[in-house]
Protein backbone atom coordinates (compact mmCIF):
# COMPACT_ATOMS: atom_id res chain seq x y z
CA UNK A 1 0.00 0.00 0.00
CA UNK A 2 3.04 2.21 0.41
CA UNK A 3 5.09 3.82 -2.31
CA UNK A 4 6.56 0.83 -4.16
CA UNK A 5 4.01 -0.51 -6.61
CA UNK A 6 4.99 -4.14 -6.90
CA UNK A 7 6.26 -5.09 -3.47
CA UNK A 8 3.38 -7.41 -2.92
CA UNK A 9 0.95 -6.57 -5.69
CA UNK A 10 -2.31 -4.78 -5.19
CA UNK A 11 -6.08 -4.95 -5.23
CA UNK A 12 -9.37 -3.30 -4.29
CA UNK A 13 -12.76 -1.98 -5.33
CA UNK A 14 -15.95 -0.25 -4.34
CA UNK A 15 -18.61 -0.21 -6.93
CA UNK A 16 -17.46 -0.16 -10.48
CA UNK A 17 -20.53 1.94 -10.87
CA UNK A 18 -22.14 3.06 -7.64
CA UNK A 19 -23.38 6.60 -7.00
CA UNK A 20 -20.75 8.04 -4.67
CA UNK A 21 -22.85 10.88 -3.32
CA UNK A 22 -25.68 9.72 -1.09
CA UNK A 23 -24.36 8.50 2.26
CA UNK A 24 -27.09 5.87 2.49
CA UNK A 25 -26.59 4.65 -1.05
CA UNK A 26 -22.84 4.56 -1.51
CA UNK A 27 -22.58 0.80 -1.46
CA UNK A 28 -25.37 -1.18 -3.03
CA UNK A 29 -27.08 0.65 -5.83
CA UNK A 30 -28.02 -2.32 -7.97
CA UNK A 31 -31.75 -2.08 -7.29
CA UNK A 32 -31.85 1.49 -8.55
CA UNK A 33 -30.75 0.62 -12.09
CA UNK A 34 -32.98 -0.85 -14.74
CA UNK A 35 -30.94 -0.28 -17.89
CA UNK A 36 -28.82 -3.02 -19.42
CA UNK A 37 -26.40 -0.60 -20.99
CA UNK A 38 -22.76 -0.74 -19.97
CA UNK A 39 -21.54 2.46 -18.34
CA UNK A 40 -18.04 3.43 -19.35
CA UNK A 41 -16.44 5.89 -16.98
CA UNK A 42 -14.39 8.72 -18.47
CA UNK A 43 -10.63 8.60 -18.04
CA UNK A 44 -8.99 11.08 -15.69
CA UNK A 45 -5.50 12.36 -15.19
CA UNK A 46 -3.60 11.15 -12.07
CA UNK A 47 -3.61 14.65 -10.54
CA UNK A 48 -7.38 14.77 -10.84
CA UNK A 49 -7.55 11.41 -9.08
CA UNK A 50 -5.59 12.66 -6.08
CA UNK A 51 -7.70 15.80 -5.85
CA UNK A 52 -10.84 13.66 -5.70
CA UNK A 53 -9.90 12.24 -2.29
CA UNK A 54 -10.54 14.03 1.02
CA UNK A 55 -8.25 17.02 1.33
CA UNK A 56 -6.82 15.84 4.64
CA UNK A 57 -5.52 12.65 2.98
CA UNK A 58 -4.00 14.06 -0.20
CA UNK A 59 -0.55 14.75 1.26
CA UNK A 60 -0.31 11.06 2.23
CA UNK A 61 -0.98 9.81 -1.31
CA UNK A 62 2.18 9.13 -3.28
CA UNK A 63 0.36 8.51 -6.54
CA UNK A 64 -2.76 7.00 -8.10
CA UNK A 65 -2.74 4.54 -10.98
CA UNK A 66 -5.72 4.09 -13.29
CA UNK A 67 -7.13 0.87 -14.77
CA UNK A 68 -9.34 0.18 -17.77
CA UNK A 69 -12.97 1.28 -17.27
CA UNK A 70 -14.94 -1.68 -18.60
CA UNK A 71 -17.10 -2.69 -15.66
CA UNK A 72 -14.27 -4.83 -14.26
CA UNK A 73 -12.29 -1.88 -12.87
CA UNK A 74 -12.55 -2.96 -9.23
CA UNK A 75 -11.24 -6.40 -10.04
CA UNK A 76 -8.60 -4.96 -12.37
CA UNK A 77 -7.32 -2.67 -9.61
CA UNK A 78 -7.29 -5.55 -7.14
CA UNK A 79 -5.47 -7.85 -9.55
CA UNK A 80 -2.83 -5.22 -10.29
CA UNK A 81 -2.26 -4.51 -6.61
CA UNK A 82 -1.82 -8.23 -5.94
CA UNK A 83 0.85 -8.44 -8.60
CA UNK A 84 -1.20 -10.25 -11.25
CA UNK A 85 -1.43 -7.31 -13.60
CA UNK A 86 -4.72 -5.78 -14.72
CA UNK A 87 -5.54 -8.76 -16.89
CA UNK A 88 -5.57 -10.89 -13.75
CA UNK A 89 -9.10 -9.64 -13.07
CA UNK A 90 -10.43 -13.01 -14.30
CA UNK A 91 -8.40 -14.84 -11.66
CA UNK A 92 -9.51 -12.41 -8.96
CA UNK A 93 -13.18 -12.88 -9.82
CA UNK A 94 -12.68 -16.64 -9.66
CA UNK A 95 -10.75 -16.51 -6.38
CA UNK A 96 -13.36 -14.33 -4.70
CA UNK A 97 -16.20 -16.49 -5.98
CA UNK A 98 -14.47 -19.55 -4.53
CA UNK A 99 -13.92 -17.72 -1.23
CA UNK A 100 -17.59 -16.80 -1.05
CA UNK A 101 -18.78 -20.31 -1.87
CA UNK A 102 -16.35 -22.05 0.47
CA UNK A 103 -17.28 -19.89 3.47
CA UNK A 104 -20.89 -19.14 2.51
CA UNK A 105 -22.24 -19.87 6.00
CA UNK A 106 -19.83 -17.37 7.54
CA UNK A 107 -20.58 -14.71 4.95
CA UNK A 108 -24.33 -15.29 5.19
CA UNK A 109 -24.10 -14.33 8.86
CA UNK A 110 -21.94 -11.29 8.07
CA UNK A 111 -24.16 -9.98 5.26
CA UNK A 112 -27.40 -10.90 6.98
CA UNK A 113 -29.02 -13.18 4.42
CA UNK A 114 -28.46 -15.98 1.92
CA UNK A 115 -30.12 -13.79 -0.69
CA UNK A 116 -27.29 -11.27 -0.43
CA UNK A 117 -24.79 -14.09 -0.91
CA UNK A 118 -26.66 -15.12 -4.06
CA UNK A 119 -26.46 -11.54 -5.37
CA UNK A 120 -22.73 -11.35 -4.68
CA UNK A 121 -22.12 -14.69 -6.40
CA UNK A 122 -24.06 -13.44 -9.40
CA UNK A 123 -21.98 -10.27 -9.45
CA UNK A 124 -18.71 -12.21 -9.35
CA UNK A 125 -19.58 -14.97 -11.82
CA UNK A 126 -18.97 -13.02 -15.01
CA UNK A 127 -15.82 -13.41 -17.08
CA UNK A 128 -16.79 -11.73 -20.35
CA UNK A 129 -16.11 -8.24 -21.73
CA UNK A 130 -17.92 -5.04 -20.73
CA UNK A 131 -19.59 -5.97 -17.47
CA UNK A 132 -23.07 -4.55 -16.84
CA UNK A 133 -23.95 -2.80 -13.58
CA UNK A 134 -25.10 -6.01 -11.86
CA UNK A 135 -21.58 -7.43 -12.31
CA UNK A 136 -19.71 -4.47 -10.85
CA UNK A 137 -17.75 -4.66 -7.64
CA UNK A 138 -19.46 -3.37 -4.52
CA UNK A 139 -17.94 -1.96 -1.38
CA UNK A 140 -17.90 -2.55 1.50
CA UNK A 141 -19.21 -6.01 0.52
CA UNK A 142 -16.12 -7.11 -1.39
CA UNK A 143 -13.72 -5.60 1.14
CA UNK A 144 -14.19 -8.42 3.62
CA UNK A 145 -13.95 -11.06 0.89
CA UNK A 146 -10.76 -9.62 -0.65
CA UNK A 147 -8.98 -9.21 2.69
CA UNK A 148 -9.88 -12.73 3.77
CA UNK A 149 -9.21 -14.43 0.44
CA UNK A 150 -5.71 -12.99 0.03
CA UNK A 151 -4.78 -12.34 3.69
CA UNK A 152 -4.15 -8.66 3.08
CA UNK A 153 -4.98 -5.43 4.84
CA UNK A 154 -7.20 -3.59 2.37
CA UNK A 155 -7.69 0.17 2.61
CA UNK A 156 -10.67 1.57 0.77
CA UNK A 157 -10.70 5.32 0.08
CA UNK A 158 -13.23 7.67 -1.46
CA UNK A 159 -14.41 11.21 -0.88
CA UNK A 160 -17.40 9.84 1.01
CA UNK A 161 -16.45 6.57 2.72
CA UNK A 162 -13.11 5.26 3.99
CA UNK A 163 -12.64 1.87 5.64
CA UNK A 164 -9.98 -0.72 6.42
CA UNK A 165 -10.65 -4.44 5.97
CA UNK A 166 -8.75 -7.18 7.78
CA UNK A 167 -8.75 -10.97 7.26
CA UNK A 168 -11.62 -12.70 9.06
CA UNK A 169 -9.97 -16.08 9.64
CA UNK A 170 -6.19 -16.16 9.22
CA UNK A 171 -3.76 -15.79 12.08
CA UNK A 172 -2.01 -12.40 12.31
CA UNK A 173 1.52 -11.97 10.97
CA UNK A 174 4.22 -9.50 12.06
CA UNK A 175 3.67 -6.02 10.68
CA UNK A 176 6.85 -6.34 8.62
CA UNK A 177 5.29 -9.31 6.80
CA UNK A 178 1.85 -7.80 6.42
CA UNK A 179 0.65 -7.02 2.89
CA UNK A 180 -1.22 -3.74 2.65
CA UNK A 181 -3.01 -2.52 -0.46
CA UNK A 182 -5.23 0.48 -1.14
CA UNK A 183 -7.97 1.07 -3.68
CA UNK A 184 -9.82 4.27 -4.43
CA UNK A 185 -13.33 4.92 -5.67
CA UNK A 186 -13.70 8.04 -7.82
CA UNK A 187 -16.65 9.01 -9.99
CA UNK A 188 -18.03 5.47 -10.16
CA UNK A 189 -14.60 4.07 -10.97
CA UNK A 190 -11.97 2.12 -9.01
CA UNK A 191 -8.26 2.94 -9.12
CA UNK A 192 -5.05 1.80 -7.47
CA UNK A 193 -3.78 4.05 -4.69
CA UNK A 194 -0.19 4.13 -3.46
CA UNK A 195 0.25 5.69 -0.04
CA UNK A 196 3.33 7.09 1.66
CA UNK A 197 4.93 5.18 4.56
CA UNK A 198 3.26 5.49 7.96
CA UNK A 199 0.15 7.08 6.46
CA UNK A 200 -3.04 7.36 8.55
CA UNK A 201 -5.38 4.42 8.14
CA UNK A 202 -9.21 4.47 8.18
CA UNK A 203 -11.12 2.75 10.98
CA UNK A 204 -11.62 -0.99 10.63
CA UNK A 205 -14.97 -2.08 9.17
CA UNK A 206 -17.25 -2.85 12.11
CA UNK A 207 -18.38 -6.22 10.79
CA UNK A 208 -14.82 -7.49 11.04
CA UNK A 209 -14.93 -7.32 14.84
CA UNK A 210 -18.40 -8.87 14.91
CA UNK A 211 -17.70 -11.83 12.64
CA UNK A 212 -13.96 -12.50 12.80
CA UNK A 213 -12.51 -15.63 14.37
CA UNK A 214 -11.24 -15.17 17.97
CA UNK A 215 -7.57 -15.66 17.06
CA UNK A 216 -7.53 -12.74 14.59
CA UNK A 217 -7.55 -9.95 17.21
CA UNK A 218 -3.94 -8.92 16.74
CA UNK A 219 -4.47 -7.99 13.09
CA UNK A 220 -5.83 -4.67 14.38
CA UNK A 221 -3.29 -3.87 17.10
CA UNK A 222 -0.50 -2.37 14.92
CA UNK A 223 -2.94 0.10 13.37
CA UNK A 224 -4.49 1.67 16.48
CA UNK A 225 -2.34 4.81 16.47
CA UNK A 226 -2.69 5.34 12.72
CA UNK A 227 -6.46 4.93 12.95
CA UNK A 228 -6.58 7.58 15.66
CA UNK A 229 -4.53 9.86 13.42
CA UNK A 230 -6.96 9.30 10.54
CA UNK A 231 -9.95 10.17 12.70
CA UNK A 232 -8.22 13.31 13.95
CA UNK A 233 -7.21 14.71 10.55
CA UNK A 234 -10.48 13.92 8.75
CA UNK A 235 -12.64 15.24 11.59
CA UNK A 236 -15.77 13.31 10.63
CA UNK A 237 -15.75 14.60 7.04
CA UNK A 238 -16.04 11.05 5.65
CA UNK A 239 -18.06 7.99 6.63
CA UNK A 240 -15.97 5.45 8.54
CA UNK A 241 -18.68 2.86 9.11
CA UNK A 242 -20.23 0.22 6.92
CA UNK A 243 -23.36 1.71 5.35
CA UNK A 244 -25.43 -0.53 3.13
CA UNK A 245 -28.64 0.56 1.46
CA UNK A 246 -31.62 -1.75 1.81
CA UNK A 247 -33.17 -3.22 -1.34
CA UNK A 248 -36.26 -1.01 -1.05
CA UNK A 249 -34.41 2.29 -0.62
Rg (CA), the chain: 16
pLDDT at site 219: 97
Per-residue pLDDT reduced to its tens digit, 194-208: 999 999 999 999 999
Cα distances from 218 to residues 221, 224, 229, in angstroms, run 5, 11, 19
What is the reported pTM? 0.80
Per-residue pLDDT reduced to its tens digit, 122-158: 999 999 999 999 999 999 999 999 999 999 999 999 9
Q: Which residues contact 7 (CB under 8 A, 6 or more apart)?
A: none
pLDDT at site 242: 83
Which of 53, 79, 47, 52 is closest to 202 using CA atoms? 53
Domain boundaries, the chain: 23-234
pLDDT above 50: residue 35: no
Q: Which residues contact 202 (CB under 8 A, 6 or more apart)?
A: 155, 156, 157, 162, 163, 164, 227, 230, 238, 240
Q: Which residues contact 132 (CB under 8 A, 6 or more apart)?
A: 36, 37, 38, 71
Just give the CATH number of 23-234. 3.90.70.80
The mean pLDDT value of the chain amounts to 83
pLDDT tier for residue 49 given thresholds of 50, 70 and 90: confident
Percent of residues, the chain, with pLDDT higher than 90: 72
pLDDT above 90: residue 28: no
pLDDT tier for residue 26 given thresholds of 50, 70 and 90: very low
pLDDT above 60: residue 226: yes
Grouping H, G, I as helix, E, B as strand and the rest as coil, residue 173 is coil
Continuous segment of H or E residues that includes residue 75: helix 73-81
Amino acid sequence: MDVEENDFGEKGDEYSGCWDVDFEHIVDCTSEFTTNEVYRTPLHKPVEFVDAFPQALRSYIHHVKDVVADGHCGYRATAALLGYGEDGWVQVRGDLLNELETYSVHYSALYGSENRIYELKHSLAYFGPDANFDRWMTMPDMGHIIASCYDVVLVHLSNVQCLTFLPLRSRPVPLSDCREIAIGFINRHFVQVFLKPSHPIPPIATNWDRYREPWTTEWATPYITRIQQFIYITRSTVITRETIASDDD
